[in-house]
A and B are shown apart, each in its own frame.
Chain A
Amino acid sequence: GAVVSQHPSWVICKSGTSVKIECRSLDFQATTMFWYRQFPKQSLMLMATSNEGSKATYEQGVEKDKFLINHASLTLSTLTVTSAHPEDSSFYICSATDMNTEAFFGQGTRLTVV
């Protein structure tokens, strides 16, 4: 199956700093990528949908200035958590599709803000 690589797999950062998470499709062109957030023992909540070359579409209640998403190429989307605070600590996971196949998930990133 298709491979989606997410990096880093875990990160610890200080409160007030920004963290960038990368999501790469390794063997297909991902026209659309999805970013999810998951708190422990809870479901995956869709944060935003990003299409290559255009602005991301954010779900209701997600702060676009807080969670910056860039999808500059067909193989890379990035999520930047700006001015991170402890409440932003969570598991972030991306998925990617070329529209013709099902979406494939990255391995996820555990973010801890201290």
Chain B
Amino acid sequence: AQKITQTQPGMFVQEKEAVTLDCTYDTSDPSYGLFWYKQPSSGEMIFLIYQGSYDQQNATEGRYSLNFQKARKSANLVISASQLGDSAMYFCAMREGTYNQGGKLIFGQGTELSVKP
């Protein structure tokens, strides 16, 4: 069963506008971490933001914020004031437990974001 689901294969957004990339997850482990990565055409994985399952507040990092809805098991990424350089693939990922407990980072299918000038 798919543990991380990104239902938007592609998204378009106008430059300077905000965009939300959807991510839902499935786990029975009470301790988990949720991540968002950006992958430009070069292939490198750029870490954007992290949300722990016990974190009370939504994570924010500059123009990135994570809308964490624990009951709905969703962890949507919000990018404010989109820039042309934001055009890339975006992956949602989850780690169940910690690395010490054998946790592994599992990725969703990805969303290709295109920012229009």
Contacts and interface: CB of A to CB of B under 8 A. Distances in A.
Top 7 A-B residue pairs of the complex, sorted by shortest distance between their CB atoms: A105-B45, A108-B43, A44-B107, A99-B99, A43-B107, A43-B109, A97-B99
Taking residues whose C-beta sits less than 8 angstroms from the other chain, chain A's interface range is: 20 to 34
Nearest to B109: A43
Contacts, number: 49
A105 B107 contact: no
B99 A108 contact: no
B44 A107 contact: yes
B105 interface: yes
A78 interface: no
Contact of B99 (A45, A103, A110): A103
A38 B41 CA distance: 13
A97 B103 CA distance: 11
